Amino acid sequence: MLKTNKRFCIIALVLTLTVNFFTIVRANEPKPLLHFVQITDTHLQKSIAKDGERLLGSSEKLLTDAINQINEIKNLDFVLSTGDQVDQPEKKIVDKYTDIIETSKYPWYVLLGNHDVSVNGGLGKRGYIRKFRKMKTPISFTENMAYYSFSPNDKFTIICLDGTTEKVVTPQGQVDDEQLNWLEDELKASEDKYVIIALHFPVIEPFKSKDHFILEPGRTRLQEIVESHKNVIAVFSGHYHAAKLIKIKNKIHNSGPAVVQWPNAFREVIITQQDPQYLLVNFKWHPVNGKELRDVSKNNSKSWKLTQGAEEDREQTVKWKIY
């Protein structure tokens, strides 16, 4: 009986110490400075579309599943969709997209991708933007501008750029001087904040492409602007449907995976500060829907190894030096 009591006391002590240890660890975990989701290239299409390399026929199902997962994440500040929300900028498809994202628990910001813009007809940029401004809680495209910024808190500014054109059907990005001058002004106005720049088209390509890059001279000037401002943490993009994390000159160039194409995922981003000299930018991986459906995309893709990236492109904590 005495041995049993001793054994019970030891077990109770171990359990108490274990609980206290984890309580202390949780208490010492830094509260996120910013916590959000980047989702990109959902390419919402009509239900009659077919599933192949791009799961266009299942695009609504994938988007809905992504939102259900996002709604399960606790304490997000917002969701950022970096373009190609729809596969075709038709009124009914855009209306369906806005209806679906209104089921999100969190503010849902969008920016323009090349598939969101019609040429010589259709909604056009103005019509597309108007759809989002008519939502119950309009937050994207401030003042009906194709490029805009928002501040989720007093430490961060998110700048959303527009790399699309209505002049010609093209997967190439274009950023004109007027927008770049506006960007300079926005960065000056946010000198006391950390800044994340978002646009559909990557400044640094995740892999070489013949026709998806940003045209010169806009790309070089944009890169120079990004590099010249010490408070710019990262550039978030989509377009290539590829997961890639590249750090150059203390800037994180993040290419987001596509929801509609393998690896069919989105990333959760948690920014914390554990050291006076560094921010920690933690990228967490969230695949959507079931493996069987994702495998349909993978099995129909010749470039799945490029789009899935390496393990460190999917999940990684990147240190960003504070100057």
Q: Which tokens hold the place of 86?
A: 């729809």
Helix (H) or strand (E) holding 118: none
The confidence band for 4, taking pLDDT boundaries of 50, 70 and 90, is low
Q: Kindly list the domain boundaries of the chain, sorted by start residue.
A: 1-29, 31-321
- If one compares 97 and 14, the residue with the highest pLDDT of the two is 97
Q: Which tokens hold the place of 141?
A: 């495209």
Walk across the sheet containing 316-321 and list its strands: 108-110, 78-81, 34-39, 265-275, 278-287, 316-321
CB 203 within 8 A of CB 222: yes
128-164 confidence digits (pLDDT tens): 999 999 999 999 999 999 999 999 999 999 999 999 9
pLDDT of amino acid 8: 54
Distance CA 80, CA 18 (A): 38
Among 196, 199, 202, which Cα is nearest to 231's?
196
Among 14, 21, 70, which Cα is nearest to 42's?
70
Q: What do you get for the CA distance between the two ends of the chain, in Å?
A: 64
Q: Which CATH superfamily, name and number, covers 31-321? A: Metallo-dependent phosphatases (3.60.21.10)
- If one compares 146 and 1, the residue with the highest pLDDT of the two is 146
Residue type, 153: N
Q: How much is the average pLDDT of 228-238?
A: 98
91-120 confidence digits (pLDDT tens): 999 999 999 999 999 999 999 999 999 988
DSSP-derived pairing of the beta strands 265-275 and 34-39:
antiparallel
Distance CA 221, CA 159 (A): 16
